[in-house]
Structures are given as structure tokens and as C-alpha cells.
Structure 1
């Protein structure tokens, strides 16, 4: 039997050879699958009921009270986030309100910036006429003194697995929804349009979101604005790149195992994975339904939080959203003191970072939080490794199930996804059920921990943005080890349904560093507050990416 190393990196011809081997020789596929997470639980004696909706049972029961919940409580924006050379949504709104510029003027500059940055492959092709039409309507509202919200005339882009009216939601593939543009917007996008947001277009992503690198020979591989030879992370790769590149201040991504937070980490922006059911999934492709959620990325905490406040809330088209309490952001600007907060840390888990600089920067941020009165305690999540395997089984099984709906397009898939499907053919329904039994156990463990602490602080990723292998762009890349490095600290939130936020924490060797916070279910407001606190942490550098394109969006004499 042919022997395969456990977690090599495959690119180019080696990746194609691997796919041929796995698909033609089931014994090789079985041997290789046994070295992955897919079979780690098979022979474990796991008892108890499986959980597929990652919420504590009491919250599901109590959720009936929220079916007709009041609207979200808007955030207090009296204290604006520092933007460190970038433009926040507030900069646009104030400049429009003071008649210093118009959405139409900015749209013209933005279209030029999109064209100038095209080689970085952040965006799919745009529809210039549609952008200018939206901008003209926004300009008229400002001329009448009737903007729809502070987001009116602000430009946003959206991961290409969300339905945008008139666009084809391909999920990074060559065949999904081919020649069938969406007839309606996804609910989050519809809510943003209703607030006056201007839709720029679709950001590029990993095919079906099934990995963390952003490498996609189908539609393009986004390059990192801080170093163009490095990955933006994935799968919401283009979202991170286009924000750090200054083209838009915020974007919507999707997160099934870290796909918002990993690009946020690699690109030095803010990214929030909401609680399951906080944001409607209607209009998303639903590739991994029990772990995947839609959420915002932003250049500042304000941008991220403002978008969250608009897209959150009940939606009759997604029953999970009917369980949620209102998003109450009254604590958002309570940043002078954290005396009310207990932060849990796990030093031994943090040490699993491959980049020591990440832990160094985490300690700097943590020291600032202590000076504001936060209490810090060491905790232990006993089942992090078990949860990691179960999360990988869950998300991969659900993605595999989705893609199997298109058997006629199997050969159209990227080689990396075909390899993953060949490995998953060696799994059984029992593997998936055991993963859901573990989910029940880990959710209960997290419930108990959150009785002792308000939030948990970890690294976001175990590595910094890595440099692309030279031969990855035509065929793709498969690297189980690198995928694990990216998702080491992120997958737990998806598996248990809790919210999590990635927060910029300085730089190492010109590459962004990020830290992460977990909070209990539906406590996104606490995470947004901490993101805002961290923006002012002393000794934590923020700077524009070398490859950014927003310089002439607003007039130099604008009062911002």
C-alpha cells in the first residue's frame, strides 16, 4: 500500500497526483483518512444525545419569549473609533452631511480604486452603472437632508456566497447557480440596502469556503495588502483584503470555522462571528448549516458594530433567528473601566501558537485590559482537542453533503475539494453523530465556564499570514497542517455556537497580529465593547497597509 505523510502541503502536480490516487485507490484513501480528524472519534465510547443546533437547551426554550422581541438598541456613537489613516463610515457620513463631497463623487473615485487594485483579486468584476445609480440616489437623499441612516452612501462588498439581486452567487465555484442571477437579496444585504448602503459587489473566496487560504484558481486568489505574496486567509479572503486595502470600510463574510476571523487576523481588521441565529442565514448558500453564520468585518470597531446592529434581529425566513433576544448595545461605549469584567485565559492553549509574537502581543493587550480594572483568571477548557476534531468532522461532512448534490460537476471542483471528498468517503454517519454528541458535552462545559468568566481571550490564529507557495495559483493547495494552524483557536466558537471577535493587536515583521475574544451566547455587545477598548491600547501599533487605495476618496480639506 502506498504510504502518505500525515500533513504535507500539496500544490501543483503533486496535488493532482494525490487526487488521482485517493479517487482510484480506496485503501490509500482509507489510510490517509485515518490520519485526519475524520475518524478520530470512531472508536471512542461517547454517550448522550447529539446536538445539531449549537445553543444551550435552556436558551432554545427561553427563545420562545423573543419571537416578537423589540428592535435592537442602537449603539452610542458619541465616542468615535480612531481610524488610523483609513476612512470609517463616520467619515463618509459627516463629509456628506457637511456637503464636502457626495456619494456620487466618492463612487467615481472608488471605481478607479477598484480598477487600480484589480491585480490583487479582492473583488469579482463590478457593475459600474449600478454603483453610480445607487450613489446618485444616496446623493439625492443627502441633498434633501434625509439620509436613511449614518450608513447611507457608505460602500460595502459581500462574500460571493450571499445572494445579491442581479448577481450570481457562485460560492467561488464555476458551476453553482451558473447563468442564474439571484432574484432577491439575502436578508442581511436587504437590511443594509434599506439603511442606504451602496453595494459594490462580490468579494472572492475559497471554493465553497472549504479551507482557510483563499487560494482559488477559478475566480482569483486575493493578495494580502500588507504583503502581496501572502495569503489574506479564508474563506472570506476578499473581504479582509478589500477592507485592509482601503476600498470599503466594511464587508459581510461567512464563518463556519473561522472564515471571518482568519482573514481579519491576516489582514489586520476587525471581524465578528455572531451567535448562531443572531443574523439571518436567508440568502446564504447554507454550505455548512450547523456551524456557518454571516457576520461583519470592519476597519474599526465602530464599522463592525454598526453593520452588526443593522443585520441582526429576527427574520421569519430563518426560524433560528426567532430565538434571539434583542441586541442591546448600551454598553458599547463603556470603555473607561472594565471593573465589571472577568476575563478567562488559557496559557497552555495559547502556547500552541507557532508564532511567539502572537502571544507577546496578546500579553500586551491583556496588560492594558488589567489597567482598566478587568479581573483575569486562568481557566481550562478540557475538551478543546476533542472539540477540534468534532468541529472538523461536522463542517467537512456538511460541506461534503452540500457539494454531493452536484454529481455532474465533480470534475469541475478544485483538486483540494476533490481530495477532501475522497477522504470523507471513508467516514460513516456514526462519525458525524458522535461529533454531535461531543457538541452536547462541550456546550455544557462552556456554559459552566461562562458562569465564572464574562469572556475568554485567546489568539485568533496560531500563525501569521503565510507566503503563497509559487505553484499554488493554477491548481490550488491542500495542507492539513496549515489549515489546523489557522483554525486552532477559531473552530470552538462555531462548534458551540458562541460569538467571537478578532481584534487587531499590532504587527510582527510587517504582518498583522490578532487576538480573539469569546463571549456567551448572544453577548455580542460585550465583544464589540472589548474591540473598541483594544483600539486604544497603548503600544499596539495600527497603520495603513502599503497597498491601500483610499487616498482621494474624501477631499483633503474635509472636516473629519
Structure 2
């Protein structure tokens, strides 16, 4: 079952109610032994919450390990520039305030003292927002937190800084010559995926439990998949985009990247809630989270129908991808009783084109004034090439894409009459290797297309993914 949270409620209250929907916490699996070299590494939100309340550690103690960890990654050969802005003094200040709340017996919520990273296109005062460029803070100063950051801060979250990203979010590898390319923590010779490359790497490396990214073309899901973490692309309009660099398009959302599904539930419950104008135009359904302790869950799972378009499902560069995803479907069927149903989704190539024209046109519209004023010379060659392509799209192209968009929605709604969810791989390839020549910039549309193979419906149709 699900529990309705009420998006107009205080985020602290919503987080507390979401916490009651999770299975009882068992500390024995985490605290049976200690890792002297890497304490706190890969702890999840409730691990920290338990440790703080039990006196095992404090946010201030964890902050010192985070600071040391960031410095260690930055000094690696090759370096791992996961953060664009990092202020150890500010981090200690936030951690000290959280520690005092625990000493006084008055933590704000289960998120109090939890370390988060924020993607560089989301405002997090006092840090500037450059969106991975060298100049954007000069034309758009940050005066306050983005709405979703303010909600997290109200819950006691500690922000470690602004995370690296593909410049202006126009790319899905994470290549950024301005600040250095973020490398995959599991294999440093490979990309993280992007554009939320820094957020994914920080969570995957164990330095923080959660991060917030943005997703208009797989930018949360692709790096989450390649880095082995959980990336939730929320329903369009579900999160308030005020204070996010691209806040006026029809595809982009701000969403959590976390170490576990349970952590995603808690973070989502805190940051969700749409803008007043979106309530009028989008008429969103009530905000809810899954109730993982419901006695009805087994019966519900047995009734779930999972849609699978086999021809599309297996259109990947490596058979291990589809085999692994087949194993996941088998687990759902054999262990939980889910039903797997064959479906057909027509015109997928047309949907890919409609998505590209939509996000490209909307992105170029927002950046065009700066582009024409000469800022394009300050952008990377990769970004300039993409914007030149986007600028070639006409108004007729955009209108045609919206007509296709409506048709794609019809096809998907017909599929949802038959199934409850549609399952696909996240990407059409595993993490690509970083060519040595690419560190000064790279445009590889073949790799980008394969990484974006399965992400279009979530963005173009506004569906959660």
C-alpha cells in the first residue's frame, strides 16, 4: 500500500511519517564490527541516525572524515574532482550546529546530520551556481537556497558543497574540462555518466548518503546506473524548481540520488511539493510514499503486472545488460509473484527525436541571450557544438515534436491499461571508458545515444522512472 503525506505539510512532518513506512531498523548488520580505516563509509541515513542517537559518533566527527575523504579523492592520480565548491569551514559549522542539537536531545528529524551534495545547477546559499561553467555565477548571482534545498535544510541536512557536472547539463558522460572530469569510483578509467556526475560519484564513493541532481534527459538515472546507486526521476512538476538553473522547461525535474531505496523514500518525502502554478496546470495526484510495512504488500505485489517490450529490452551493446535485467524480472516473478506481460511501444525512434528537439529547443531558448552576447566563447567546444545543433531547430520542429509527444503519451497510456509498470534497462551500454584525448573535451554522440537509449519516456512524457 501507500501512505499519503500531503505536500503542503511541513517537510519535517512528512519525513517523520515516511520513516514510519519503512521496515524496523536493525543496527546489528552495520555495527557488529568497525572499519578503522574507513569509518562511516557507505552508511545509509538510518545508520547515521542510529549512531548519532546512540552516542557512537557525532556529525562533527563524521565531518572530519568527509573533509579528509574529499581531499584524498582530489589528490589521487588521476584526480577525482567530485565537487566544484567545497568549504571545510562551512561544513564544520553546519556539523557543529547539528552536533549541539543532538547533545541537547533535540534533533530536528531523521535527516539531521546527514551529509548531502547539491548539483551545481541548484542554488545552495552561500555557494555560487555555475552549472559547470566558468561564468554563470557572474550573470546569475545566488541570493538564497532553492526551494527544495531550503526544505532539506529545514530537516537538518548538512550540505558538503556543490557537485561537479557536465557543463550546463548538456551531456551524459560527465566530461568537463573546466573543473576536471569526474571518474567512476568503481573504475576510475571510466565515466560516471551525467549530467549529475558529481552527485552520483559522491554517493557511490560513500562520502555522503544522498545527493540532489536534475534530470531532463536521464541526468540522474544514467550516472546512478553506471555508479551502482539509486536514482529516482520524479514525476514532472512534483518538485518545486524555483532556484534551479533550468526552471521553465517541460522535461526537467530535480531528484534524489541515494545509496538505497529506503533513503530515496526519506529524501523524496522531504523535497517533494510542486509550485502553486503547477498545482493549477498539472493537477498532480496526492503526494504519497510506499508503505513497506503494510501487511497487504505480498498480495499487492502478486497483482502487479510488469510490461516488457522484448525487442527494445534487448537492444543493448552488451548481452550482460539484458541478461542481468532478465534476472531481475525473474526475481520479481518467482520470488514476489509479479506477472510479466509482453507489450509493444510504437515509434520509439520518433520519440527519441521529439525528446531531443524538445529539450534542445527549451535549453537553447533559456541560454540564447547569453550565447548571442558572446558567452559561447567561454563554453566548452562540446557545449558549443550541442547548442549550435539546438539553435538549428525551428519553431515548426518544436511544434511537430509536441504533436509526437501527445501521440507517444497515447501509446503509453494504452500500454498502462494492460500493465502497471514498464521495465527496461537504464542504459544501453555499461560505463564507457574515458579516452585519454577526451580530458580536454569530447563530443561522442554514438556513446550519448546508447547511454540515453531507454530514458526518453520518463522525460518527454513526465513519467516517474
User: For residue 327 of structure 1, what is the aligned residue in structure 2?
Assistant: 287
Shift of 1:329: 1.9
What CA RMSD, in Å, does the superposition of the two structures yield over aligned residues?
Answer: 2.2
User: For residue 395 of structure 1, what is the aligned residue in structure 2?
Assistant: 359
User: For residue 366 of structure 1, what is the aligned residue in structure 2?
Assistant: 329
Mapped to 1, the partners of 2:156 and 2:9 lie a distance apart of 24
Mapped to 2, the partners of 1:147 and 1:69 lie a distance apart of 19
Mapped to 2, the partners of 1:392 and 1:425 lie a distance apart of 12
Mapped to 2, the partners of 1:393 and 1:182 lie a distance apart of 30
| Residues 1:78 and 2:23 are matched in the alignment | yes
Q: Deviations over 1:412-436 (max 9, x none)?
A: 1111121123233432110011001
| Residues 1:494 and 2:456 are matched in the alignment | no
| Residues 1:479 and 2:459 are matched in the alignment | no
Superposition TM-score, scaled by structure 1 size: 0.74
User: For residue 341 of structure 2, what is the aligned residue in structure 1?
Assistant: 377
Shift of 1:86: 2.0
The answer as to whether partners of 2:22 and 2:291 remain within 8 angstroms in 1 is: no
Superposition TM-score, scaled by structure 2 size: 0.89
Find the partner of 2:368 among 404, 424, 436: 404
Q: Deviations over 1:25-50 (max 9, x none)?
A: xxxxxxxxxxxxxxxxxxxxxxxxxx
Unaligned runs of 5+ in 1: 1-65, 501-560
Mapped to 1, the partners of 2:249 and 2:92 lie a distance apart of 35
The answer as to whether partners of 2:133 and 2:379 remain within 8 angstroms in 1 is: yes
User: For residue 407 of structure 2, what is the aligned residue in structure 1?
Assistant: 441
User: For residue 83 of structure 2, what is the aligned residue in structure 1?
Assistant: 123
3-state SS of the aligned residue for 2:49? helix
Alpha-carbon spacing, 1:331–1:321, altered in 2? closer, same or farther (3 Å): farther
Alpha-carbon spacing, 1:347–1:469, altered in 2? closer, same or farther (3 Å): same
3-state SS of the aligned residue for 1:124? strand
User: For residue 164 of structure 2, what is the aligned residue in structure 1?
Assistant: 204
Alpha-carbon spacing, 1:321–1:426, altered in 2? closer, same or farther (3 Å): closer
Shift of 1:321: 8.7
User: Which runs of structure 2 are paired with 1:446-461 in the superposition (5 Å)?
Assistant: 446-461=412-427
Mapped to 2, the partners of 1:304 and 1:134 lie a distance apart of 23
Q: Deviations over 1:390-446 (max 9, x none)?
A: 001111111222221202211111111211232334321100110011111111222
| Residues 1:95 and 2:46 are matched in the alignment | no
| Residues 1:149 and 2:112 are matched in the alignment | no
Mapped to 1, the partners of 2:224 and 2:354 lie a distance apart of 24
The answer as to whether partners of 2:7 and 2:287 remain within 8 angstroms in 1 is: no
Q: Which moved more, 1:419-428 or 1:456-465?
A: 419-428
Mapped to 2, the partners of 1:207 and 1:287 lie a distance apart of 17
User: Which runs of structure 2 are paired with 1:118-197 in the superposition (5 Å)?
Assistant: 118=74, 119-178=79-138, 181-197=141-157
Alpha-carbon spacing, 1:129–1:321, altered in 2? closer, same or farther (3 Å): farther
Q: Which moved more, 1:465-474 or 1:327-336?
A: 327-336
Find the partner of 2:388 among 403, 422, 440: 422
The answer as to whether partners of 2:213 and 2:257 remain within 8 angstroms in 1 is: yes
| Residues 1:386 and 2:350 are matched in the alignment | yes
User: Which runs of structure 2 are paired with 1:286-297 in the superposition (5 Å)?
Assistant: 286=246, 289-297=249-257
User: For residue 68 of structure 2, what is the aligned residue in structure 1?
Assistant: 112
Q: Which moved more, 1:282-291 or 1:295-304?
A: 282-291
Mapped to 2, the partners of 1:85 and 1:129 lie a distance apart of 21
Q: Which moved more, 1:188-197 or 1:119-128?
A: 119-128
3-state SS of the aligned residue for 2:82? coil
3-state SS of the aligned residue for 1:302? helix
Alpha-carbon spacing, 1:115–1:320, altered in 2? closer, same or farther (3 Å): farther
3-state SS of the aligned residue for 2:382? helix
The answer as to whether partners of 1:314 and 1:321 remain within 8 angstroms in 2 is: no
Bigger proportion of residues as helix: 2
Q: Deviations over 1:328-383 (max 9, x none)?
A: 22434456551121100111001111111011101111111002110110001112
3-state SS of the aligned residue for 1:200? strand
User: For residue 339 of structure 1, what is the aligned residue in structure 2?
Assistant: 302
The answer as to whether partners of 2:215 and 2:255 remain within 8 angstroms in 1 is: yes
The answer as to whether partners of 1:122 and 1:203 remain within 8 angstroms in 2 is: yes
Mapped to 2, the partners of 1:464 and 1:320 lie a distance apart of 41
Find the partner of 2:233 among 270, 273, 281: 273
Shift of 1:316: 3.6
Alpha-carbon spacing, 1:268–1:201, altered in 2? closer, same or farther (3 Å): same
Q: Deviations over 1:106-151 (max 9, x none)?
A: 1111111111111211112311111111111111111121111101
Q: Report 1 or 2 for greater relative contact order, CA contacts < 8 Å, sequence distance ≥ 6.
A: 1
Find the partner of 2:208 among 216, 225, 248: 248
Unaligned runs of 5+ in 2: 1-5, 31-39
Q: How many equivalent residue pairs?
A: 434
Alpha-carbon spacing, 1:300–1:466, altered in 2? closer, same or farther (3 Å): same
